[in-house]
Amino acid sequence: MSVNFDRFDLADLTKRRGAKWAAAPGDVLAAWIADMDFPLAPPVADVLAEAVGAQDLGYPSGQDVDAVVASFVARSASRHGLDVDPSLVVVTSDVVQSIYIALMTFSEPGDGVVVQTPVYPPFLSAVADTGRRLVEAPLAVAPQGYRVDADRLRAAVRGQGAKVMLVCNPHNPTGRVFADDELEAVAEVAEEEDLVLVVDEIHADLVYPGRSHVPMPLAAPAAATRCVTLASASKAFNIAGLRCSVASFGSRSLYDRFSAVPSHVRGGLSVLGLRATAAAWKEGDEWLGQVLSYLQDNRDAVATALAGLDGVVSFAPEATYLAWIDLSGLGMGPDPAGELKQNAGVLLSSGPDFGGPGKGHVRLNFATTAEVLQGILSRLGTYLSGRRPRVDSGRS
Ligand SMILES: Cc1ncc(COP(=O)(O)O)c(C=O)c1O
């Protein structure tokens, strides 16, 4: 099977009705929300076509739900060597929903929630929307890129009355795949402060050669019982609109507390989401290998284009199809995304939405065809090279 990842050209993409392209007016190129512009994995497309063809779109069965749990358990064992107890897995409709439920279950209003920034914006809105208190712990920026600094994290968390730490690994927006020592540091702080560790691993299937994803319970076995792992096929297999994810618990007590939220409050599950997820996790790996190699070329094209621009700083991601770009050296103000949409015709995600360190940054989604990506990079290159780096150029 060889997939043509260039199948959808710009004319096809701009006709799409989903959020990514609908938000890009006129000839603006969309490079913001984390959806991909590629054809689906054939096993996923087939199972969806089969359900629609048979008009089999009623409520899902218990078998549909069990198939997702079984495929998640099998995948955790085969890809990561992690044994997951299927009786401690809950299927939910999306990862962000699980984050909200976890905060409401494992903390009280006013309790602190630790979040390492920059981070996927719903981590921050979940804390605010549930009336919890943000304990912001910025990642350190080393010469090689962002990293967890144990002392810095400990200092930010100590004495803050936190109950939960939200962790994103692989990390959106920086693309880091945290190393064992960084995960161990996170787990140690969680032990010291008695925190529940909610770890969003939605990007775990999108890791480039040279790095590998280690689930938190394997990196820090002593902390396994305080871990809640969130996963979904939605990012790697590009089915976010179908709504299906899993939450896996390191202990029966965490599972029981989360499951005490009635299933009707958690919301129903979609038959298409369940079937597509099981197909992706069971039969999608050939497609996944091909998409990763296409994305790796795109990642390298982004790195080359940005490296040639004075005043622009970006570290090539180890995972994800997202590039986190520091434009603060160009003096474009705290939120350059608006100016880039207006003047360069490229729609990016706004850095400040990702927390304090996002000032002066943008996030670029490079999961598109090589041709559209060239358009995006050439527009950004032309505009940004016309801006003069500030004399005190450096990262914020
Ligand atoms: C880290 C992270 N978590 C969660 C999500 C969204 O997941 P869901 O649509 O299942 O809520 C995204 C989407 O980009 C993400 O990057």
Q: Which of 255, 283, 311 is a domain's end point? A: 283
Closest-CA residue to 229 (of 237, 238, 220, 241): 220
Contacts of 392 (CB under 8 A, 6+ apart): none
Residue 389: the pLDDT is 78
Whether residue 15 is contained in a domain is answered as yes
User: Which tokens is 219 given?
Assistant: 């990196």
Q: Cα separation of 224 and 226, whole Å? A: 5
Residue 391: the pLDDT is 60
Backbone angles phi, psi at 170, to 5 degrees: -55, 155
Q: Cα separation of 32 and 240, whole Å? A: 14
For residue 236 and ligand 1, the question of a CB distance below 6 A is answered with: no
> What average pLDDT score do residues 11-34 get?
97
Asked if 215 and 202 sit in the same domain, the reply is: yes
For residue 35 and ligand 1, the question of a CB distance below 6 A is answered with: no
How far does the centroid of ligand 1 lie from the alpha carbon of residue 201, in Å?
9
Q: Which domain holds residue 373?
A: 10-38+285-385
Local confidence band at 1 (pLDDT 50, 70, 90 cut-offs): confident
Q: Which of 283, 312, 338 is a domain's end point? A: 283
Residue 84 DSSP one-character state:
-
Residue 395: the pLDDT is 46
How far does the centroid of ligand 1 lie from the alpha carbon of residue 122, in Å?
8
For residue 234 and ligand 1, the question of a CB distance below 6 A is answered with: yes
Residue type, 22: A
How far does the centroid of ligand 1 lie from the alpha carbon of residue 94, in Å?
8
| pLDDT of 392 strictly over 60 | no
- Domains contained in the chain, number: 2
How far does the centroid of ligand 1 lie from the alpha carbon of residue 321, in Å?
13
> What average pLDDT score do residues 182-206 get?
98
For residue 200 and ligand 1, the question of a CB distance below 6 A is answered with: yes
Asked if 337 and 247 sit in the same domain, the reply is: no
Residue 168: the pLDDT is 98
Atom of ligand 1 nearest to the CA of 240: 9
Q: What percent of the chain is predicted at pLDDT more than 70?
A: 98
pTM to 2 decimals?
A: 0.96
Q: Cα separation of 380 and 308, whole Å? A: 12
For residue 238 and ligand 1, the question of a CB distance below 6 A is answered with: no
Contacts of 23 (CB under 8 A, 6+ apart): 30, 32, 33, 347
pLDDT averaged over the chain?
96
Atom of ligand 1 nearest to the CA of 245: 10
Instruction: Give me the CATH number covering residue 74.
Output: 3.40.640.10
Backbone angles phi, psi at 252, to 5 degrees: -60, -35
Residue 355, beta-bridge partner list: none
Whether residue 2 is contained in a domain is answered as no
